[in-house]
Amino acid sequence: MGLSYSVSVPVRTGAERATLARRTYSLVFLSVVVTMLGTGFALGQPALLDAVYHHWIIAFLCVLAPLILVMRAPREFPRNIVLTLLFTFVEGIFIAPLMALYSAKFPGQHVVEQAAALTLGAFGILTLYAVFSRRDFSAWGSFFSVGLWVLIATSFLNVFFKSSLASVWLSAGTLFVFSGLLVFDTWRIVRSGAYGEDDYVAAAVNIYLDLLNMFVAILNLLSGGRRS
């Protein structure tokens, strides 16, 4: 998602790029699995689920803490891996109330599974586009970062207005912005040379956040923006 950090020597050879990509996407895959484990753990703990739902600000701060720590020192192995997996596990706990809400609201419709499948499909298509396109996506970072701040501001306003229609548009905007950021972040890994060979944790966190936000946006769209 374009998180800032200091990079080591940029990747220059094909072998270094392959190593960076392999490490990055292995960690992304592992992070997704750990998030699922975190969600499953929370769903089996009603008291924890209720606490996250009613004290979501505190829960969100708990999510941010390991993320901030890992991005301050993304190359300190194995500390960086432990903090990344802790972040993704807590993220799974944080989104568990949303999974429970949609599963209960749309029984038998498998909206969570549909959202996961659509996210996986979009991830594959956008990743292939970034890898095989000859375009220079450097300008996309600034453009979609501005779009992200607009989304944050608009979402904050909608907390007070609670418009279902606005929620649908915000979800569509979120999907658009993070799809663009996914292309940009993928391009940075495989084409731009912006990362060093040991910057796979920072690269993986960016891709993971893009995927997570795309998944939540698709889930909201499938439900028509109805959370209450």
Tens of pLDDT along 42-72?
Answer: 999 999 999 999 999 999 999 999 999 999 9
Residue-range domain boundaries for the chain: 14-222
Q: What are phi and psi for residue 196, nearest 5 degrees?
A: -85, 165
H or E stretch covering 140: helix 138-161
Q: Tens digits of per-residue pLDDT, 120-157?
A: 999 999 999 999 998 889 899 899 999 999 998 988 88
Q: Is 185:8 a contact under the CB 8 Å cutoff?
A: no
Distance between CA atoms of residues 18 and 15, nearest Å? 5
pTM above 0.85, yes or no: yes
Q: Provide Rg for the chain, Cα atoms.
A: 18
